[in-house]
């Protein structure tokens, strides 16, 4: 038996050990991956704010933020739900001043908070 044929048989044996019988291996298409990553209407990688006193609002956020740094807010008062659907260790902070000054606390990825936004004038997103 040639060395190449034995190498091919060895590779097949290793593959059989790694994938149990009856398991179908494949990848989801882009549409399925995007749909699975969206939670409560908030796209993966975003921080979403929902309308005042509306909880999850049926999965319809009113504001979406994707980029790191400060984001100024206007006319946002009362209690709003904020959901951090960013990846990894990315966090979000609320700030009493504009341009990300006077920030408080950290909202970790995959968490939400119901926050009185009356004294809040900006939010920051950071890796």
For residue 73, pLDDT beyond 70: yes
Q: Which of 4-18, 87-101, 106-120 has the lowest mean pLDDT?
A: 4-18
Query: What order of strands is seen across the sheet that includes strand 111-116?
Result: 63-65, 46-49, 79-85, 111-116
Does this model's pTM top 0.85? My answer is no
User: pLDDT band at residue 53, thresholds of 50, 70 and 90?
Assistant: very high
pLDDT value of position 70: 98
pLDDT value of position 27: 33
For residue 5, pLDDT beyond 60: no
Helices (H), 19-45: 30-37
Helices (H), 1-127: 3-18, 30-37
Q: Assess contact for 11 and 5: CB atoms under 8 A.
A: no
pLDDT value of position 106: 97
**Per-residue pLDDT tens digits for 19-45:** 333 333 333 334 444 444 899 999 999
For residue 117, pLDDT beyond 90: yes
Task: Determine the average pLDDT of the residues in 97-116.
Answer: 97
Grouping H, G, I as helix, E, B as strand and the rest as coil, residue 68 is: coil
* % of the chain surpassing 90 pLDDT: 69
pLDDT value of position 3: 41
């Amino acid at each position: 038996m040639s060395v190449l044929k034995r190498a091919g048989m060895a590779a097949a044996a290793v593959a059989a050990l790694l994938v149990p019988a009856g398991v179908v291996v494949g990848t989801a298409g882009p549409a399925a991956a995007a749909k699975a990553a969206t939670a409560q209407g908030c796209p993966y990688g975003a921080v979403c704010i929902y309308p005042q006193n509306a909880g999850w609002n049926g999965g319809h956020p009113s504001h979406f933020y994707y980029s790191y740094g400060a984001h100024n807010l206007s006319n946002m008062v009362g209690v709003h739900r904020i959901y951090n659907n960013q990846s990894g260790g990315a966090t979000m902070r609320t700030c009493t001043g504009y341009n990300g000054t006077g920030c408080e606390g950290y909202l970790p990825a995959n968490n939400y908070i119901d926050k009185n936004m009356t004294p809040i004038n900006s939010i920051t997103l950071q890796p």
